[in-house]
Structure 1
Amino acid sequence: MMGFSHATTGVLVGVAVVAPVAAAAGAPATPAGLLAWALLGAGAALVPDLDHPSSTATRSQGFVTGLLSRGIRALSVAVYEFTRTPADDSGGEHRHLGHTPAFAAVVGAAVGLLCHLSWWASAVTAWFLAFIGLRALRRITRGWLRATLGSWAGAALGAFGVAALFLNAWEVRPAGWTVGLLVALGMVVHSLGDALTSSGVPLAWPFRVRGRRWAMLGAPRRLRFRTGTWPEWVVGALSLTGAAAAGYGLVA
């Protein structure tokens, strides 16, 4: 699983893309705000893997995310069966609907609308994303902090702190639609990351590619890598470096 590297690309999106957009919309970046965007972005980039029963996102909150995973997998299979062509021959669960830019746009729009309508929706979304993000990023921590974030209670308390930070770190709170944008872009960057691996993802769905609506697309074969190998760590390192540089540029 690429949980950690996906989380780092989400950090980059949160700091380098969504934070400047939110600033342009009236919520200027602060160091505390950038930290919140980074951790929420890490969680957003793990959302697509709720379609896998043993992913970091699915295992993060036990029964709750397990139930959510089963629902997403059932929806993915149903959509696959309804839209497949005779040339499609995959199962329809992991790396299917949840890994399409079209689905990311729908989820992002729904989250953005809910966060626009309700402060509580923003709070719950921030807590949920921060929880998943902290669980994934604990790999760059050590000692007691790593052990704490590895437990449900520790990650939950940390996520409460991040959610409170996100909701109170600004003179003008970011608009709800910026949270939806973060979710959508986090999901998209996750799929682009998977497109660098051997299996590919259905980036073109619902459009047909060579007769297949669920064609697994990706980078040229010579540029792809297997999960868990050194190129994945390079992606993570470059993402965190880019996020740090972007954050410094925003607050300097």
Structure 2
Amino acid sequence: MGRSHALSGWCAGLVVAPVIGLTTVAEVVPFAAATAGYALLPDLDHPGASASRLLGPLTGFVSSVLRAFSALLYSLTKGPRDEDSTGQHRHATHTVVAAVLLGFATSSAGAVGGWRAVLAIALLGLILAADVLGDWVLLVVVAAGGWTLAGSWLPGTSAVEALRGGLDEIGSWIGAAVAVGMFVHCLGDSLTRSGCPWLWPLPIRGETWYEIRLPKPLRFRTNGPVENLLIAPALVVGSVLLLPGGLAIAQDLATTIWSTTSVWLAGR
């Protein structure tokens, strides 16, 4: 579900950014890029995930440490009715607790380190997202950023200064991007047949690691036809329309096409 996780994270970032007061593309795009990338981070607990393979042995080692920690945490906290599991994939990193903790950590980094820390966190998210979605993501981010920055520059202000201003505005809010991305991942996994225990350590029906999921008829298989033919395309459309000004441009384009078509049909 890597592609769907990244796209849903991107859409969530575009929705959340204006809510917390980030409105320009210089602010929204880095925020959404971080949300998209960190929506892939929970799968660092799987050796075959893109996040685990991103930097070769380095991320592979981090993945192995996370799996060991998750297994230990599962053995120490599982309830009387929890299944017999290794407790590795879809456990420790797939919880609200993990999202909040990493969100606080990156928020503190953004507050202390300023725009440089925000840039580093956002770039890591962008790299994670591009690894799954392809290099076109980088082009979209650069094009969208350049488009809005060009229209918002003040006399004597360079592109670098405009971008830095946007990163300064994000500041500690970068932690929200990280937390939202990780939580969106959990919600996405809850749509699948396996579910996701993101309410840990809240005990439910004797299980500390209770898998939250949809009613059985509504669940779908990872990388199955529902995800590939319905969910992913819908997220692609949403990822464009939710960009600042994206909906207005789409409406203008639709109006133009409709007017042109009407004139052409009337002339036949």
TM-score range for the pair, normalised by the shorter chain length: 0.7 to 0.9
| Contact 1:36 1:166 (8 Å CA) reproduced | no
Q: Judge conservation of contact 1:33–1:170 (CA < 8 Å) in 2.
A: no
CA deviation after TM superposition for structure 1 residue 15, in Å:
1.2
Query: Matched residues in 2 for 1:246 and 1:20: separation?
Result: 11
Match of 2:174 among 179, 185, 188: 179
Q: Is the 8 A contact 1:60 1:135 kept in 2?
A: yes
Please say which of residues 116-125 and 40-49 is displaced more in the overlay.
Answer: 116-125
Alpha-carbon distance between aligned partners in 1 of 2:131 and 2:246, rounded to the nearest angstrom: 26
Q: Deviations over 1:97-135 (max 9, x none)?
A: 111112111111111111211134323312211111111
Size of the aligned set, in residue pairs, is 227
Is the contact between residue 116 and residue 175 of structure 1 (CA under 8 Å) also seen in structure 2? no
Task: Tell me the equivalent position of 2:52.
Answer: 58
Instruction: Pick 1 or 2: higher relative contact order, CA cutoff 8 A, min separation 6.
Output: 1
CA contact (8 A) 2:14 2:28 kept: yes
1:222 aligns with 2:217: yes
Structure 1, unmatched stretches of 5+, are 150-157
2:127 is the alignment partner of 1:128: no
Identity over aligned pairs, percent: 37
Residues 41-83 of structure 1, C-alpha deviation per residue, up to 9 Å, x if partnerless?
2211001000101101111111221122122212211211221
User: How far apart in 2 are the matches of 1:232 and 1:111?
Assistant: 31
Which residue number in structure 2 is paired with residue 110 of structure 1?
Answer: 105
Q: 1:167 to 1:12 in 2, by over 3 A?
A: farther
Q: Which residue of 1 aligns with 2:260?
A: none
Aligned partner of 1:21 in structure 2 is 19
1:185-215 Cα shifts (integer Å, max 9, x gaps): 1011111111111111102210111101011
Deviation at 1:249, TM superposition (A): 4.2
Query: What does the per-residue CA deviation read over 1:168-188, in whole Å, with 9 as the maximum and x for residues that have no partner?
Result: 526452333211101111011
**TM score, norm. by length of structure 2:** 0.76
Shift in Å, 1:167: 8.7
Q: CA RMSD in A?
A: 2.7
Partner of 1:236: 232
TM-score, normalised relative to structure 1: 0.80
Answering whether residue 11 of structure 2 is matched by residue 12 of structure 1, we say yes
